[in-house]
Amino acid sequence: MSKRLASFVRMKPRVLIVDDEPDVLELVDFKLSGEGFEVVRAANGLEALSKARCESPQVIVLDMMLPDLDGRLVCEILRAQPFTRDVPVVVLSALDRPLPRSRGAKIRVAHWLKKGSDLAALGDCVRAALEEHLARVKRRLAPEEIGQDASTEAGDRAQP
Protein backbone atom coordinates (compact mmCIF):
# COMPACT_ATOMS: atom_id res chain seq x y z
CA MET A 1 0.00 0.00 0.00
CA SER A 2 1.40 3.42 -0.91
CA LYS A 3 2.23 5.94 1.81
CA ARG A 4 -0.40 8.32 0.42
CA LEU A 5 -3.11 5.66 0.54
CA ALA A 6 -2.03 4.48 4.01
CA SER A 7 -2.33 8.00 5.42
CA PHE A 8 -5.78 8.31 3.83
CA VAL A 9 -6.92 5.07 5.49
CA ARG A 10 -5.53 5.88 8.99
CA MET A 11 -6.83 9.40 9.50
CA LYS A 12 -10.14 10.22 11.15
CA PRO A 13 -12.65 10.64 8.29
CA ARG A 14 -13.62 14.29 7.75
CA VAL A 15 -17.23 14.97 6.77
CA LEU A 16 -18.58 18.32 5.57
CA ILE A 17 -22.23 18.78 6.50
CA VAL A 18 -24.17 21.43 4.61
CA ASP A 19 -27.55 22.63 5.85
CA ASP A 20 -29.12 26.03 6.42
CA GLU A 21 -31.02 24.86 9.51
CA PRO A 22 -28.85 25.30 12.65
CA ASP A 23 -30.74 22.56 14.51
CA VAL A 24 -30.08 20.06 11.71
CA LEU A 25 -26.39 21.03 11.60
CA GLU A 26 -26.15 20.51 15.36
CA LEU A 27 -27.97 17.15 15.27
CA VAL A 28 -25.98 15.75 12.34
CA ASP A 29 -22.72 17.03 13.85
CA PHE A 30 -23.56 15.31 17.16
CA LYS A 31 -24.50 12.05 15.43
CA LEU A 32 -21.46 11.84 13.14
CA SER A 33 -18.98 13.06 15.78
CA GLY A 34 -20.29 10.36 18.09
CA GLU A 35 -19.61 7.78 15.37
CA GLY A 36 -15.97 8.82 15.06
CA PHE A 37 -16.06 11.34 12.23
CA GLU A 38 -14.41 14.75 12.22
CA VAL A 39 -17.14 17.21 11.24
CA VAL A 40 -16.90 20.52 9.39
CA ARG A 41 -20.07 22.62 9.00
CA ALA A 42 -21.38 24.93 6.28
CA ALA A 43 -24.67 26.83 6.44
CA ASN A 44 -25.09 27.57 2.71
CA GLY A 45 -23.89 26.57 -0.73
CA LEU A 46 -21.13 29.16 -1.11
CA GLU A 47 -19.67 28.33 2.28
CA ALA A 48 -19.87 24.64 1.38
CA LEU A 49 -17.88 25.16 -1.83
CA SER A 50 -15.22 27.12 0.03
CA LYS A 51 -14.93 24.58 2.86
CA ALA A 52 -14.94 21.66 0.44
CA ARG A 53 -11.86 23.13 -1.20
CA CYS A 54 -10.07 24.28 1.98
CA GLU A 55 -10.96 21.48 4.43
CA SER A 56 -10.65 18.50 2.03
CA PRO A 57 -13.57 16.43 3.35
CA GLN A 58 -13.75 12.77 2.43
CA VAL A 59 -17.56 12.82 2.31
CA ILE A 60 -20.09 15.65 1.99
CA VAL A 61 -23.57 15.46 3.55
CA LEU A 62 -25.66 17.94 1.58
CA ASP A 63 -29.13 19.42 1.88
CA MET A 64 -30.77 20.04 -1.49
CA MET A 65 -32.68 23.16 -0.46
CA LEU A 66 -30.22 25.90 0.50
CA PRO A 67 -30.86 29.66 0.57
CA ASP A 68 -28.21 30.76 -1.93
CA LEU A 69 -27.41 27.85 -4.26
CA ASP A 70 -29.54 24.74 -4.46
CA GLY A 71 -27.89 21.43 -3.68
CA ARG A 72 -27.96 20.29 -7.31
CA LEU A 73 -25.91 23.33 -8.35
CA VAL A 74 -23.49 22.80 -5.45
CA CYS A 75 -22.98 19.20 -6.65
CA GLU A 76 -22.41 20.31 -10.24
CA ILE A 77 -19.79 22.84 -9.13
CA LEU A 78 -18.12 20.25 -6.87
CA ARG A 79 -17.95 17.82 -9.81
CA ALA A 80 -16.41 20.49 -12.06
CA GLN A 81 -13.53 21.25 -9.64
CA PRO A 82 -10.42 19.02 -9.73
CA PHE A 83 -10.02 18.97 -5.93
CA THR A 84 -13.62 18.02 -5.18
CA ARG A 85 -14.87 16.07 -8.19
CA ASP A 86 -14.37 12.66 -6.57
CA VAL A 87 -15.69 13.46 -3.08
CA PRO A 88 -18.81 11.35 -2.42
CA VAL A 89 -22.00 13.25 -1.66
CA VAL A 90 -24.70 11.90 0.64
CA VAL A 91 -27.92 13.88 0.31
CA LEU A 92 -29.92 14.53 3.49
CA SER A 93 -32.98 16.41 2.35
CA ALA A 94 -36.62 17.08 3.11
CA LEU A 95 -37.29 16.06 -0.49
CA ASP A 96 -38.61 12.54 -0.27
CA ARG A 97 -37.21 11.18 -3.50
CA PRO A 98 -34.01 11.40 -5.49
CA LEU A 99 -33.62 13.63 -8.51
CA PRO A 100 -34.78 12.26 -11.87
CA ARG A 101 -32.18 9.88 -13.32
CA SER A 102 -30.96 12.37 -15.93
CA ARG A 103 -30.22 15.06 -13.33
CA GLY A 104 -29.05 12.69 -10.59
CA ALA A 105 -26.52 10.97 -12.84
CA LYS A 106 -24.88 14.29 -13.64
CA ILE A 107 -24.29 15.11 -9.97
CA ARG A 108 -23.43 11.53 -8.84
CA VAL A 109 -25.08 11.23 -5.44
CA ALA A 110 -23.76 8.28 -3.42
CA HIS A 111 -26.82 7.97 -1.14
CA TRP A 112 -30.13 9.81 -0.68
CA LEU A 113 -31.68 10.10 2.78
CA LYS A 114 -34.84 11.84 3.89
CA LYS A 115 -34.48 14.22 6.82
CA GLY A 116 -36.10 12.93 9.97
CA SER A 117 -36.98 9.42 8.90
CA ASP A 118 -33.54 8.27 7.66
CA LEU A 119 -31.27 9.99 10.19
CA ALA A 120 -30.49 6.69 11.94
CA ALA A 121 -28.94 5.37 8.72
CA LEU A 122 -26.77 8.45 8.15
CA GLY A 123 -23.59 7.10 9.78
CA ASP A 124 -23.85 3.84 7.82
CA CYS A 125 -24.40 5.71 4.55
CA VAL A 126 -21.44 8.02 5.20
CA ARG A 127 -19.28 5.01 6.01
CA ALA A 128 -20.48 3.18 2.88
CA ALA A 129 -19.77 6.25 0.72
CA LEU A 130 -16.31 6.49 2.28
CA GLU A 131 -15.61 2.79 1.62
CA GLU A 132 -16.81 3.12 -1.99
CA HIS A 133 -14.55 6.13 -2.43
CA LEU A 134 -11.60 4.31 -0.85
CA ALA A 135 -12.12 1.36 -3.20
CA ARG A 136 -12.02 3.77 -6.19
CA VAL A 137 -8.83 5.37 -4.84
CA LYS A 138 -7.21 1.94 -4.39
CA ARG A 139 -8.11 0.96 -7.97
CA ARG A 140 -6.72 4.25 -9.24
CA LEU A 141 -3.46 3.90 -7.26
CA ALA A 142 -2.90 0.21 -8.06
CA PRO A 143 -1.25 0.83 -11.48
CA GLU A 144 0.91 3.54 -9.87
CA GLU A 145 2.07 1.11 -7.16
CA ILE A 146 2.79 -1.61 -9.72
CA GLY A 147 4.97 0.86 -11.64
CA GLN A 148 6.82 1.86 -8.47
CA ASP A 149 7.34 -1.77 -7.45
CA ALA A 150 8.68 -2.69 -10.90
CA SER A 151 11.13 0.23 -10.97
CA THR A 152 12.32 -0.57 -7.42
CA GLU A 153 12.84 -4.24 -8.31
CA ALA A 154 14.72 -3.28 -11.49
CA GLY A 155 16.95 -0.97 -9.45
CA ASP A 156 17.58 -3.72 -6.88
CA ARG A 157 18.60 -6.19 -9.59
CA ALA A 158 20.97 -3.69 -11.20
CA GLN A 159 22.99 -3.33 -8.00
CA PRO A 160 25.56 -6.11 -7.34
**What would the mean pLDDT of 136-152 be, rounded to a whole number?**
66
Taking the domains of the chain in order of start, what are their residue ranges? 3-155
- The pTM score is 0.79
Classified as helix, coil or strand, 42 is: strand
Q: 82-135 pLDDT, tens per residue?
A: 999 999 999 999 887 665 554 544 678 889 898 887 788 999 999 999 999 888
Classified as helix, coil or strand, 29 is: helix
Q: 1-50 pLDDT, tens per residue?
A: 555 555 455 578 999 999 999 999 999 999 999 999 999 999 999 999 99
CA nearest 91: which of 11, 2, 17? 17
Domain 3-155 in this protein, CATH class: alpha beta
